[in-house]
Structure 1
Amino acid sequence: MRAAAAGAYRAWPTAAASSAAVATGSLTPAYTDGPQRHSFTGPLLREVVAGTLPDFDPRRRKERSRFLLAVSGGAGHHAVLSWAEIDADFGDAPVLLATRMDDEALDEAGTQLVVPSDRCGARYVSAVTGIWIGSCRTP
């Protein structure tokens, strides 16, 4: 499925996340806002949304930098990432949709967005319910 220019929303969980073909990662990020330290395992966000890619014009490489991903979760939490953060040709950040934390399944707690490049856990979204992908329109 390709996303329209106006944006596409994908409810979570997706079939891609449970697929063995999806690349997984394992991270142990450190936080500056407290003594917490956890390890996370799960599919890379860019692999999960690969089937919902925006219609990028391959001749216009910079076009990818205007797309955003908004991740929604439980308790009304949301986080926004730029496509360039997770794109292998730009930031290549190993952002995860974690299905395990500290070797424990997150089945009951729900999938968690993990942004390892952040120095605090503010963009970590628990109990992910959906992902919106769309372009940032200029004012």
Structure 2
Amino acid sequence: MSRPGAPLGASATELASLSVIGEVDLPATLTVRDLREGWRPHRAEVVFDCATSGPRRHVFEGPLLREVALASRPLFDIRRRKDRSRFTLAVSGGDGHRTVPAWAEIDADFGDAPVLLATRLDGEDLDAVGSQLVVPVDRCGARYISAVTRVRVGAWPGAW
């Protein structure tokens, strides 16, 4: 088990883990158990449209993505809204699926979306398969990422 501040690549007893990396002071590797025991759980009862199987109903539990990312101390000035608003979180899953939410979506001063890193799905622990990104405010399930392997925190690239 590796908490924020521990070196990446630390061994874990569980099969599935994710890394919080990028523009952070304290990169970390976290198991599903770490997520479940280290942060207050939130519950989301969701219905979303799946392109291949239609409407899906699930109950997810886990910590807020924002709280997990903040524990790694992103390299922005927490007091400056404009500094925070230029950051993104690139989330990758074990199957290669990726999505890039903006920090402002999950920040309490902006969108305050309750995006989760789920540790439980319909009452079952996800320890062996990995956490799942859950975006309860989305109508479609395209940003639901299974078996999350990495959360990369970083500022939007230079001038565009």
TM over 0.5: yes
Residue 10 to residue 71, structure 1, CA distance change in 2 (3 Å): farther
Q: TM-score, normalised by structure 1?
A: 0.85
**In structure 2, how many angstroms separate the alpha carbons of the residues matched to 1:73 and 1:12?**
14
- The corresponding residue for 1:31 is 48
Whether the aligned pair in 2 keeps the contact of 1:112 and 1:126 (CA below 8 Å) is: yes
Query: Residue 60 of structure 1: which of 67, 80, 83 is its match?
Result: 80
**Percent identity (aligned):** 53
TM-score by length of 2: 0.74
1:77-96 to 2 correspondences below 5 Å = 77-96=97-116
Match in the other structure for 1:44: 64
Q: Distance in 1 between matches of 2:92 and 2:45?
A: 23
Separation in 2, partners of 1:28, 1:126: 17
Greater shift after overlay, 53-62 or 99-108? 53-62
Cα drift, residue 91 of structure 1: 0.7
User: Which runs of 5 or more residues in structure 1 are unaligned?
Assistant: none
Q: What corresponds to 1:13 in structure 2?
A: 31
Equivalent position amino acid for 2:109 in 1: D
Normalized per residue, the structure richer in strand is 2
Partner of 2:155: 135
Q: Is there any run of 5+ residues in structure 2 with no aligned partner, and where?
A: 6-19
How many pairs were matched up? 137
The structure that is helix-richer by fraction is 1
Distance in 2 (alpha carbons) for counterparts of 1:73 and 1:15? 18
